[in-house]
């Protein structure tokens, strides 16, 4: 059986970070399969951890019979629910469905399919041994949201985007690996609107301030215990207080241990059946 991982069409490098997270727990990957075209795969049987945001191309569901999925960290976007529901037999064939968030758990269970809260593979990153934090990273976040008190003496402030231009899948994947490693080595504090920046950083013991939108898609940040801060804009909300407190790292050691053991055991069980 081939070992597969997901590749992505969008411009959000957070998608690729999810693949990097999964690949920590897989044997060497033989093939990358495009998340939006899983129905067109016609190669040898391939084991695929089916994680992340679904579904963009509604006509391309369900995946090819040649794909043997492990649903783990699966999130169903609201507009895709009717399509997923029409193919409930596909999910039943591959239950239990490990879901990224409780909203997806509730939806899958409403279809009569076994589901549980697996959370996300991005919670399984470990901090590099040579960690030497010296920077505050603003990852698609506005410096004006923060009180000047947060900018500690000697700290470099770096602005990063998880939006990417149209480049090759290999380049995206390499950048995703490098940016997670960079956060792990150098980030003293991360302020972000991106869940797949927040969660790897939480896992690596980095203090995180999450200022992203409150939505069905991002509810996982609160499910792992991270406080969500209201965004501050100097024109729209001139009287809203800026964030002043430097947060402590969030202790998710037990959660991380559980998620890691879970995905490893599911991969091992699937390979044993191959």
Q: Where are the domains of the chain?
A: 2-122+256-273, 123-252
Question: Between the CA atoms of 112, 113, 118 and 119, what dihedral angle is there, to the nearest 10 degrees?
Answer: -60
The pLDDT score that the predictor gives to residue 228 is 85
Check residue 169 and give its pLDDT: 84
pLDDT tens for 180-198 read 999 999 999 999 999 999 9
Q: What is the chain's mean pLDDT, rounded?
A: 92
* Secondary-structure class of domain 123-252 per CATH: alpha beta
Mean pLDDT check: name the lowest of 20-24, 209-213, 269-273. 209-213
| Confidence check: pLDDT of 84 > 80 | yes
Quick one: pLDDT at residue 42?
95
198 φ/ψ angles, rounded to the nearest 5 degrees: -60, -45
153 vs 197, residue with greater confidence: 197
Query: Residue 96 pLDDT more than 70?
Result: yes
* CA 59 – CA 5 distance, rounded (Å): 21
Q: Is the pLDDT of residue 150 over 90?
A: no
Predicted local distance difference test score (pLDDT) of residue 234: 54
Domain 123-252 in the same topology as domain 2-122+256-273: yes
15-56 pLDDT, tens digit each: 999 999 999 999 999 999 999 999 999 999 999 999 999 998
Phi, psi dihedral angles at 167 (to 5 degrees): -130, 175
Whether this prediction's pTM lies above 0.95 is answered by: no
pLDDT(225) > 70: yes
pLDDT range class, residue 237, cuts 50, 70, 90 = low
Determine the straight-line distance between the first and last CA of the chain, rounded to whole angstroms. Answer: 6
| C-beta separation of 115 from 104 below 8 A | yes
Q: What is the pLDDT of residues 241-258, one digit of tens each?
A: 678 888 999 999 999 999
Give the pLDDT band of residue 173 (cuts 50, 70, 90): very high
pLDDT in tens, 255-268: 999 999 999 999 99
- pLDDT value for 227: 87
Distance (Å, whole) CA 61 – CA 59: 6
pLDDT value, residue 155: 86
Q: Specify whether domain 2-122+256-273 bears CATH 3.40.50.
A: yes
């Amino acid at each position: 059986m081939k070992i597969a991982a997901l590749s992505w069409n969008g411009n959000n490098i957070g998608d690729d970070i999810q693949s990097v997270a999964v690949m920590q727990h897989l044997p060497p990957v033989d093939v990358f399969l495009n998340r939006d075209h899983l129905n067109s795969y016609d190669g040898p049987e391939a084991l695929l951890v089916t994680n992340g945001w679904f579904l963009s191309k509604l006509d391309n569901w369900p995946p090819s019979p040649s794909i043997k999925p492990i649903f783990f960290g699966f999130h169903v976007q609201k507009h895709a629910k009717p399509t997923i529901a029409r193919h409930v037999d596909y999910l039943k064939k591959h239950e239990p469905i490990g879901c990224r968030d409780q909203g997806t758990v509730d939806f899958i269970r409403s279809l009569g399919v076994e589901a549980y809260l697996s959370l996300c593979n991005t919670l399984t990153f470990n901090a590099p041994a040579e960690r030497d934090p010296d920077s505050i990273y603003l990852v698609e976040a506005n410096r004006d949201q923060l009180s000047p008190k947060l900018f500690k003496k000697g700290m470099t402030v770096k602005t990063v985007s998880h939006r990417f231009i149209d480049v090759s899948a290999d380049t995206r994947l390499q950048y995703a690996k490098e940016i997670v490693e960079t956060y792990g080595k150098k980030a003293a504090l991360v302020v972000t609107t991106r869940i797949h920046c927040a969660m790897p950083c939480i896992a690596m013991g980095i203090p995180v301030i999450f200022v992203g939108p409150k939505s069905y898609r991002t509810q996982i940040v609160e499910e792992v215990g991270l406080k969500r801060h209201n965004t501050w804009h100097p024109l729209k909300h001139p009287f809203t207080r800026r964030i002043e407190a430097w947060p402590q790292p969030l202790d998710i050691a037990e959660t991380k241990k559980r998620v890691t053991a879970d995905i490893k055991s599911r991969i091992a069980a699937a390979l044993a059946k191959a």
